[in-house]
Amino acid sequence: MDEIAAPRRRPNARGRGEMLREEIVTTAMTMLDELADDEAMSLRAVARTIGIAATSVYLHFPDRDSLVVAVAQRCQEELVGVGDAADAAEQDPGHALRARMLAQVAWAQQHPGLYKVLHESSVHRRLGMPFKEVMVQRTVAAVQRCMDANLAPTDNPTTVAIDLRTAVNGMLAQRINEPDLPWPPAAEQLDRFLTKLVGLSYPGAPG
């Protein structure tokens, strides 16, 4: 059966190509969140969803990998943004670190497909995503603030932050890939990580 084409979209006015690029990335984000697999998405499918010719997508993204990387970078920016906002809302460094991690956990739970692509995609394995380093840098700084405030034992903050991120990323990946396991509340699991890996005492307790 012939596939029904999407309605043809009106072209952007001259000089507004950046708006189309944004629409392509936004559409690809929605598709990848549903697919949870970068190899299941094609540039032609993105074009059909928007209602434009495939050649219009190729003007901005020469191949699928480049579009997947653009989506991953947008996801990373959102994760950093929600973490920064949650951190800034807390005065206590321990609560700030906990809030940062919880905000990122919540984003991943709302967008499991995108989180899976961000960390497990074939593009990530082939090309790497160096822009993800900012997440580690933010966590290192947050852990350092806990140590400076004597809320956590003095240690190498980079090592502690990487241990924490490894634990949280593993927790999220397992929850996404094996949703039927009897998972405890994510906040409780995070609190155990903060206590065991960072050395915070009762990180979820009110100040």
* Amino acid code (one letter) for 59: L
Instruction: Give the integer Cα–Cα distance in Å for 108 and 88.
Output: 20
Sign of CA dihedral 195, 177, 133, 128: positive
Are 127 and 118 in contact by the 8 Å Cβ rule? The answer is no
Mean pLDDT of 84-100: 97
Instruction: Give the integer Cα–Cα distance in Å for 101 and 87.
Output: 9
Mean pLDDT of 181-193: 95
pLDDT given at position 18: 86
Residue among 63, 62, 78 nearest 26 (CA): 78
All domains of the chain, ordered by start, with CATH?
Answer: 17-64 (1.10.10), 70-198 (1.10.357.10)
pLDDT digits (tens, 9 = 90+) for 103-130: 999 999 999 999 999 999 888 878 778 8
Q: Provide the whole-model pTM.
A: 0.86
pLDDT at 4 over 50: no
pLDDT digits (tens, 9 = 90+) for 38-72: 999 999 999 999 999 999 999 999 999 999 999 99
Instruction: Give the integer Cα–Cα distance in Å for 85 and 72.
Output: 20
